[in-house]
Amino acid sequence: MSARRGSAAAAVVVALLAAVTARAADGPRFTEGAATFQANCAVCHRANGAGTPGLAPPLTEFPARFAALAEGRRQLAMTVLYGMFGDIVVGERHYNFKMPEFTQFDDATLAAALNFVVFDIAHAPESTAVLTPADVAAERKQAVDGSAVREHRAAVVAALPP
Ligand code: HEC
């Protein structure tokens, strides 16, 4: 092979590698959480977490803000474990439908789904600590109902920095 054809072939390989790398970088950071979310949550919250007006709220903002506060992290774990019931306001829209409970999933599965929501959907900064199975386990020990989860949410929202 001439030197010229060799370098042309090398250029093609470099371009292909760049394309593959770019695709990987575009994928979710939490791939297992993404799979759980698409199979169990997207039906209401949509694949991109943008929500369904009148049914399920968007997950694009509050989860990242909650993840920065200890009580907010508890709130996220409580929401996926026990669901939520009662009026909430997100992006100036009211939502008042029942978020189902997901206690049938283990702690690691729920933590991964929350990390997909917090980092891949709501784009929390990388400095935010990931949710761990222990975070979910702590809330599993103290069962509450969906109305209590909503009341706790109101307290967390009131404590959020502007
Ligand atoms: C049947 C529809 C439905 C499904 C399925 C569902 N949700 Fe929800 N989700 C809701 C509704 C409705 C609310 C708001 C409840 C309310 O109004 O009190 C909500 C609220 C939330 C919130 C709280 C948002 C906030 O601003 O406080 C999170 C986080 C969340 N869902 C994550 C998930 C995850 C993760 C899954 C899958 C494991 C999931 N949801 C599955 C309907 C659903």
What mean pLDDT do residues 128-143 have? 98
Domain assignment present for 5: no
CA of residue 55 to ligand 1 center, whole Å: 9
CA of residue 40 to ligand 1 center, whole Å: 10
SS3 of the chain: the string is CCHHHHHHHHHHHHHHHHHHHHHHHHCCCCHHHHHHHHHHCHHHHCCCCCCECCCECCCCCHHHHHCCCHHHHHHHHHHHHHCECCCEEECCEEECCCECCCCCCCHHHHHHHHHHHHHHHCCCCCCCCCCCHHHHHHHHCCCCCHHHHHHHHHHHHHHCCC
Domain assignment present for 87: yes
Domain assignment present for 17: no
Which ligand 1 atom sits closest to the C-alpha of 98? Answer: 12
Domain assignment present for 2: no
Residue 101 belongs to domain spanning: 29-159
- Rounded to two decimals, the pTM is 0.88
- How many domains, in total, are found in the chain? 1
Domain assignment present for 63: yes
Domain assignment present for 21: no
**Residue of 30, 32, 40, 44 with the most ligand 1 atoms within 8 Å of its CB, for mutation:** 44
Confidence band for 5, pLDDT divided at 50, 70 and 90: low
Residue nearest to atom 37 of ligand 1 (CA): 41
Percent of the chain with pLDDT over 90: 83
What mean pLDDT do residues 83-99 have? 96
Which ligand 1 atom sits closest to the C-alpha of 96? Answer: 17
Q: Which residue has the higher pLDDT, 21 or 112?
A: 112
Domain assignment present for 24: no
Q: What is the pLDDT of residues 13-63, one digit of tens each?
A: 555 445 444 445 679 999 999 999 999 999 999 999 999 999 999 999 999
CATH of the domain at 113: 1.10.760.10
Domain assignment present for 4: no
Weakest mean pLDDT among 18-32, 45-59, 99-113, 148-162: 18-32
| Cα separation, 9 vs 149, whole angstroms | 59
